[in-house]
Amino acid sequence: MNLIEMNSICKSYRNIGFETRVLEDVTLHIREGEYVSLMGPSGAGKSTLMAIMGCLSQPTSGEYILDGEEVSTLNDRKLSRVRNEKIGFVFQAFHLLPGVTALENVILPLVYAKRPPSNIKERARELLAKVGMEHRLHHTPGQLSGGEQQRVTIARSLINDPRIILADEPTGNLDSKNGRETMKTFDNLIKEGKTIVLITHDLEVAQHAGRIVSIRDGQIASDGNHEEGTPARFL
């Protein structure tokens, strides 16, 4: 079953009479439980594609069906509902509130969504334990290393039990050891049935995924299993 169906997606920006085409006729289908890496040079359109995939932006044209629902024409309120219910985000910049504990940071998405369950703290503790942070519940981001902050971010992305995890350069601000630990966490989430799409410039990171999609000049340049070999244009 395809969880994500993007058909003929185009994205353009207009500025004082000029049009910049960022995505051009992108068609991408991702099955439930699939692990996909998006690679390509800076400016290729990877982050724009992920923004549309995450319902943070709308395509200029084309069709986007997420979990059976056509979302490319939804208004902002409905897009927010889809994000809150189905998508978890992990970014290179951790986006943790500085004066708030790890536990409170994990809880925040459900508080903002105004639908916190009665067992919200228990669930947040379980998620922090899952990423190896049960001993740092009451530490603020400033008291945590970069790797620890990223693990809190991953726990936060899971608090709404999303179908999809979207990760934009999740190891970009980490040293090699913490990067490997972060990728182990994603590997475990795949085993639990989550669908993961990540952007990376690091081929070693990309090869954790079963499928590597190369984006170049706003189009899909190649799409395949990484074990089939990595074309030079990935690099």
Print pLDDT tens along the chain (235 aa).
899 999 999 999 988 778 899 999 999 999 999 999 999 999 999 999 999 999 999 999 999 999 999 998 899 999 988 998 899 999 888 889 998 999 999 998 887 766 666 788 899 999 999 999 999 999 999 999 999 999 999 999 999 899 999 999 999 888 899 899 999 999 999 999 999 999 999 999 999 999 999 999 999 999 987 554 444 344 3
Domain membership flag for residue 41: yes
Q: What is the pTM of this model?
A: 0.90
Q: Residue 16 has what pLDDT? A: 79
How far apart, in whole angstroms, are the C-alpha atoms of residue 34 and residue 190? 8
For residues 91 and 153, is the Cβ–Cβ distance under 8 A? yes
Domain membership flag for residue 98: yes
How far apart, in whole angstroms, are the C-alpha atoms of residue 171 and residue 183? 8
Neighbours of 17 (CB within 10 A): 5
Report the DSSP pairing between strands 69-70 and 87-91. Answer: unpaired
Q: Residue 230 has what pLDDT? A: 46
Q: Residue 18 has what pLDDT? A: 83
Sign of torsion, CA 39 158 190 59? Answer: negative
Instruction: Tally the domains of the chain.
Output: 1
Neighbours of 68 (CB within 10 A): 9
φ/ψ (deg, to 5) at 200:
-155, 150
Question: What CATH number should be reported for the domain holding residue 165?
Answer: 3.40.50.300
Q: Length of the chain in residues, anyone?
A: 235
Sign of torsion, CA 41 47 53 58? Answer: negative
The domain of 123 spans: 2-229
Q: Residue 195 has what pLDDT? A: 97
Domain membership flag for residue 183: yes
Residues near 2 by beta carbon (within 8 Å), at least 6 away in sequence:
29, 30, 31, 32, 65
Domain membership flag for residue 142: yes
Domain membership flag for residue 86: yes
